Chain A
């Protein structure tokens, strides 16, 4: 357990303390305590920057389940550190923002911050784990905490719907990913990502490779809201805005991006990886931006914009991974793509974070996020307006902000797909730059919408639930810091290039620096009169034109009927599975205990008999049978007679007497079988049991069998005869097999050591109290539980009635 591990676990530890702080210090907003955690972690992780930027990595192993190859290996390299800094950096800003967003008097802050800290720790675990199983565990933790945060205002129906949706989709992806991880383990015998990367060549040849790849990608695509799994993200906007800013734009949804980047070296030698990642990415980019334009909710626009931007990063990663596929690093093409991916990742976190916070401020101060009601806020909220305009211009890819730089690099990458004829398919290859361009136009439109419809245009304050005014300064600090970064990274992008981007790119494409190929990052504004520049100009012109004529063509969005949207499919699938499973349940869950018992016995007979026949296990070995004495036969007959007459007993007293006959016969058998302890126990137990039965008779009615029909009896008889037969066969077969194969009894050890190790003579008792003391301990626990249960059943009977 090193400091690094503690750093990952610190948020979890803090999460345990937070509720007490909330209860103990009512007057101080709990957020102030929480703020210390990401802040401390951010400072801690900054210290790793010199290490990773010089190309080194740090790895600390803490053994967890070594026998299964599962170790908590914390591994810091350029990529992991980049994410860790994003998580803690944006995390600090979000916590600061939330202090002003969530009122301490009204909200269940302890819940909120526990979930948030849980998420923070889980996310750090995802990006800093080398072991896939540990990564998976943290991965699911992020899904769960996201579920809890979306459902934070659980009394709202939409919150619950959104929470359930995100949970179902991301956990489906998570489980697929687990399948992929297991397949990788079957192929390679290791859970370590670094070892997997070393074996990527061998893995390619394995027939399971394809399945593993698709399953892992399912995990990444669901988490990063790629088409068609993006449907959960817009509904996740029911979460409090700080959560949307944190989880659903800057960090959690990027876990999928992280996974793709991390796994690229393992999978990217296969050409299909490029196709899938780049293809899904570019289509998501288009689909998200296209749908963003029709939204009327500020956060809805931002949600679809996040979907589309994630698609952009994804497509860039797909293209960049081509470097591994072709084993060369063409500076124009693959490198630009990967650098652009990393760069845009950072940029997106800054501008989208600030935009979400802006949306939260607008919502907080006006009471609505509907752009049809908003307008003309510029005079009332000048600072918020500034934040909005910088953020959305950066998102639209306008100079001089950082979004412009990465968007430009993105276009370079997309054009070269076409020029380089990367996928050997001229006809399809051209789709990449075309879709990229169209998507950028839509991006431009919704970015403009975001600012203009909210802050400019005709004021209609009478429609707002609240009287709008500028937000308190505390709420503005975080978005202001973020937009400052937008501007700073816009003017001085090379601040990042060697410290953050280069180590991350080297981590995504590890084989290339190893082969002596230098990763060279230099980002600059002016590219000359290249096609990218004309494309940007075209985007601005077309975008402005289309924005002006928005009302005329907006109708196309209503052309798609609700039934055929992905949301419609999801809803109907959910309803269908619910009613389907209900019907299935109704079919066999009759509510009668007898039906369930019949299932159990039927399966018992079917499985045991089929096993006996299939494995040819039924043999009779008569060579070593114990001899039969005449009194044993008599006793057997008494026992059988007793057992069968119980079936026909008319009164309860007869039944009990007969049960006693059977019990005492069994005790006698124990005597014959040389089991004195058993015989004694059985005798006493039988006596006490009869007393117990007699006591209970006082409360129970006489046996009534009038209602039993012939059919009922016959059915029961058939089942019981089958069960009896099965047990007889099993008894004979297992005894005979034991004799034929001469299995050695494990109890020889007990017999040999009973005196030396336990200083005892009675082996049964020594086994009970010494050799297998655990069994006995649990047994007396069970007895205690039974006694408590009986006591509770009899003595606490009034409780339920009183409640009513």
Chain B
């Protein structure tokens, strides 16, 4: 990308669209337990938004917008998943046994809270972390 073409329209549109995609991906992630969606799809959708940003701008801009260490994110996701699984051991249950219950929460009303969501957050983070690590690594290498 030596001679930078003028892609102002692309950049403006991308900024808006990727924001919408990320919101949608978060919706997909949380809805995954009842309707299509879940950690994998949510994570992939988020990464797709980030990839779009990357294509519209360049890798350096993306790094300044999102100063995350994506490898750390992968590790954190894995750790969350494993710990969620291991948590069941504390209650004398087999590894990865999930539990859920219904709670009255302010604003949301009666809500079911589920440890599987924690596990799924791990999956979500790993998927984003992995995809972005791959893309960043390839994009940065000369």
Contacts and interface: CB of A to CB of B under 8 A. Distances in A.
A772 to B, nearest CB: 9
A783 interface: yes
Given A681-B44, A762-B38, A787-B129, A780 B122 contact: yes
Given A776-B123, A787-B130, A794-B137, A765 B44 contact: no
Given A691-B55, A787-B130, A760 B34 contact: yes
A786 B114 CA distance: 30
Nearest to A696: B138
Interface stretch (B5-13, B60-68, B75-83): B75-83
B133 interface: yes
Given A777-B85, A780-B123, A780-B127, A761 B35 contact: yes
A580 interface: no
Interface string B69-105: 0010011011001100100000000011010100000
For B40, B98, B133, the residue with the greatest tally of chain A CB atoms inside 10 Å of its CB is: B40
A370 interface: no
B76 to A, nearest CB: 11
Contacts of A677: 36-38, 41
A684 B41 contact: yes
A573 interface: no
A724 interface: no
Nearest to B118: A769
Given A681-B41, A759-B112, A765-B33, A688 B74 contact: no
B71 A676 contact: no
A699 B139 CA distance: 10
Contacts of A791: 71, 133, 137
B44 A688 contact: yes
A397 B102 CA distance: 88
Contacts of A695: 135, 138-139
Contacts of A783: 74, 126-127, 130
A774 B94 CA distance: 11
Contacts of B129: 784, 787
A117 B127 CA distance: 48
A695 B130 CA distance: 16
B14 interface: no
Nearest to A687: B48
A777 B138 contact: no
A790 B120 CA distance: 24
A684 B140 CA distance: 23
B74 to A, nearest CB: 5
Contacts of B133: 787, 790-791
A393 B77 CA distance: 74
Chain A contact surface mostly: helix
Interface in A644-693: 676-677, 680-681, 684-685, 687-688, 691-692
Interface string A747-767: 000000000001111101110
Interface residues of A, number: 39
Given A688-B51, A692-B138, A795-B137, A784 B126 contact: yes
B17 interface: no
Interface string B109-138: 000101010011011001101110111011
A788 interface: yes
Given A681-B44, A761-B33, A795-B137, A784 B38 contact: no
B85 A762 contact: no
A762 B140 CA distance: 39
B18 interface: no
A774 B82 CA distance: 10
Contact of B33 (A699, A762, A787): A762
B71 A788 contact: yes
Nearest to A773: B96
A687 to B, nearest CB: 6
Chain B contact surface mostly: helix
A680 B37 contact: yes
Interface in A425-455: none
B96 A777 contact: yes
Contacts of A774: 95-96
B115 to A, nearest CB: 9
Given A784-B126, A791-B133, A769 B39 contact: yes
A691 B131 CA distance: 11
A788 B34 CA distance: 33
Contacts of B45: 680, 684
A776 B34 CA distance: 18
Interface in A688-711: 688, 691-692, 695-696, 699
B100 A759 contact: yes
A794 B139 CA distance: 10
A784 B78 contact: yes
Given A691-B51, A770-B116, A783-B130, A680 B96 contact: no
Contacts of B140: 794
Nearest to B116: A769
A36 interface: no
A237 B34 CA distance: 72
A719 interface: no
Contacts of B82: 777
Nearest to A772: B96
Given A780-B77, A784-B126, A676 B137 contact: no
For A676, A691, A774, the residue with the greatest tally of chain B CB atoms inside 10 Å of its CB is: A691
Given A692-B138, A695-B139, A758-B98, 8 more contacts: A688-B44, A758-B116, A759-B100, A760-B34, A770-B98, A774-B95, A787-B71, A788-B71
Interface of A: 676-677, 680-681, 684-685, 687-688, 691-692, 695-696, 699, 758-762, 764-766, 768-770, 773-774, 776-777, 780-781, 783-784, 786-788, 790-791, 794-795
18 contacts: A677-B41, A680-B36, A680-B37, A680-B45, A684-B48, A688-B131, A691-B51, A760-B116, A761-B35, A764-B38, A765-B36, A769-B98, A780-B78, A780-B81, A780-B126, A784-B130, A790-B133, A791-B71
Interface of B: 28, 32-41, 44-45, 47-48, 51, 54-55, 71, 74-75, 77-78, 81-82, 85, 95-96, 98, 100, 112, 114, 116, 119-120, 122-123, 126-127, 129-131, 133-135, 137-141
Closest 3 CB pairs of A and B: A761-B34, A676-B36, A765-B38
